[in-house]
Amino acid sequence: MPLNYSPTLRSRRLRAILRQLREEHALTLDQAARQVDWTGAKLSRIETGQRGAHPNDVRALADLYGITGREREALITLAREARQRGWWQPYGSVLPPGFATYVDLESEASKIATYSPELVPGLLQTEDYARAQIGAAPTQEPDDEIDKRVAVRMKRQQRLTEAGGPTVLAILNEAVLYRQVGGRDALHRQLTHVLDLATNPKISIHILPFAAGSHPGTHGEFVLLEFPTSQDAGIIYVEYLTGRAFLEEPDEIVQYHLVLDHLRARSLSREDSTTLISNIIRRS
């Protein structure tokens, strides 16, 4: 499976289309389900992603909603594609619960924007920095599991240099530049790597300086993913101590866009950010 292919995104798109078709026909879940000899619970689970939609399920719903020809075939193809395995699945056993979904969505994102107050984001990390960060978890993981999680992180980065790869906006708190994850030498290599990435015109790295004072990003790290087509709405990904969440409501997306705009306005320019990083490297 190519790195820029997301079965999760296709499943999300299919669910949205099926729900829209039902609503356009002014049918409740129970009314639509009865007409195809299902329970309302089954249709609800399909529309909410708790259950995958088999191509035969989609055929039944297409018949109900009067969908024919190319539009019908496109829905059935979407159902087949949503059931395929993502490139990350050989590593699925070592990924934290829910993180595989993020990796899958990130795979097809056309724009990735992130604010990171504590660490260099995983998408920009060197191997030794990533290993040190993953190995610092309070629950000790076996070395082979850490190796696999590092491998996933490195593989995710391949899209950054591919044709058609995403544009990336990374806003880092200035403290990130001084935190010696993996030690002084590892940090030096990491900052050098960030500086190299900053030469890519599709990657914008901005430093939020200490002098910015209080700002709207004090609630913590987040990632905004946007996708190539208008069919697929953006999504916000956040992590917390015991898990992670995906925020998809339009008002939530708008709020995080506003936070991102404020953070960028208070951050150093792209040029001044690279100058700051270069100065820290020289002094280290």
Q: Per-residue confidence of the chain (284 residues) as pLDDT tens digits? A: 566 678 888 898 999 899 999 999 999 999 999 999 999 999 999 999 889 899 999 999 999 999 999 999 999 999 998 888 888 888 888 988 889 899 999 999 999 999 999 999 999 999 999 999 999 988 888 899 999 999 999 999 999 988 889 999 999 999 999 999 999 999 999 999 999 999 999 999 999 999 999 999 999 999 999 999 888 889 999 999 888 999 999 999 999 999 999 999 999 999 999 999 999 999 98
Structure tokens at 198: 């900053």
Residue 147 identity: D
Asked whether 130 and 167 are in contact (CB, 8 A), the reply is no
- The rounded distance, in Å, linking the Cα atoms of 155 and 140 is 23
Closest CA to 19 of 10, 27, 7, 9: 27
Q: How far is CA 26 from CA 29, 30, 65, 90, in A?
A: 10, 12, 11, 42
Q: Is the fold of 7-82 the same as that of 89-283? A: no
pLDDT for position 53: 93
- The rounded distance, in Å, linking the Cα atoms of 52 and 42 is 10
Strands 167-173 and 203-208: parallel
Torsion angle in degrees (nearest 10) through CA of 83, 168, 206, 131 = 50
pLDDT for position 234: 94
- The rounded distance, in Å, linking the Cα atoms of 27 and 29 is 7
Q: Bin 59: left if φ > 0, else alpha if -120 < ψ < 50, else beta.
A: alpha
Asked whether 95 and 103 are in contact (CB, 8 A), the reply is yes
Closest CA to 93 of 41, 141, 45: 141
pLDDT for position 2: 63
Looking at domain 89-283, its CATH architecture is: 2-Layer Sandwich (3.30)
What values do phi and psi take at 9, rounded to 5?
A: -65, -40
Looking at domain 7-82, its CATH architecture is: Orthogonal Bundle (1.10)
- The rounded distance, in Å, linking the Cα atoms of 114 and 235 is 12
pLDDT for position 7: 86
pLDDT for position 1: 57
Domain map of the chain by residue range? 7-82, 89-283
